[in-house]
Structure formats: C-alpha cells, structure tokens
C-alpha cells in the first residue's frame, strides 16, 4: 500500500504508539496515509479505537513476526 509517511513505534508501549501516531498525523494533509509499525500487541485494539474516535481511517492492519503494521488515512 502506498503511504506518505512512516512511523517506527517499535519497542514503545501504551500509550506511546497512539500519542506518536497522533503527532505524526498532525503535520500531514487530509487524505494522506501514515504507516505505523509497532511491536505492542495492545496497539491493535488501540489503533482501531483511535481511528473510530478521531475519524481517521484505518485502511489496513496486519501482523507478522511480532510486528504490527497499520495504514492510517488522515481525515
């Protein structure tokens, strides 16, 4: 999937992946896509909850080798 910016949230624990996602989205334009890579299994539910509450769209999420990858489209 195409993305305009990537956030490496590996090794970070709750709530840092969410806080850093929010920060990364702040200087992006509406419609642009942010890729987030996290190793926190709790971030799976949290990213969904973040998207639901902020209106940013979680386009795709996947997991491989303990890494969680999210594509978030800015509202």
Q: Closest Cα to residue 11, out of 58, 68, 73?
A: 68
Closest contact distance (angstroms) between CB of 3 and other proteins is 20
β-pair type (33-38, 57-64)? unpaired
Residues of this chain that bind other proteins (CB under 8 A):
11-16, 18-19, 21-22, 39-40, 50, 53-54
Contact 24, 4 (CB under 8 A): no
Based on the residue annotation, tell me whether 14 is a catalytic residue of this protein: yes
Least Å distance between CB 23 and other proteins? Answer: 8
Q: Which of 4, 14, 41, 49 is catalytic?
A: 14
**Residue closer to other proteins (CB basis): 1 or 58:** 58
Strand pairing partners for 67?
64
User: Which residues are designated catalytic?
Assistant: 14
């Amino acid at each position: 999937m195409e993305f305009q910016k990537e956030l490496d949230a590996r090794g970070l624990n709750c709530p840092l992946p969410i806080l850093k996602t929010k920060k990364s989205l702040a200087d992006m334009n509406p419609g642009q896509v942010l890729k987030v890579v996290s190793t926190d299994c709790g971030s799976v539910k949290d990213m969904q909850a973040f998207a639901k509450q902020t209106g940013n769209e979680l386009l795709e999420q996947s997991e491989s080798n303990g890494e969680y990858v999210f594509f978030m489209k800015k509202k």
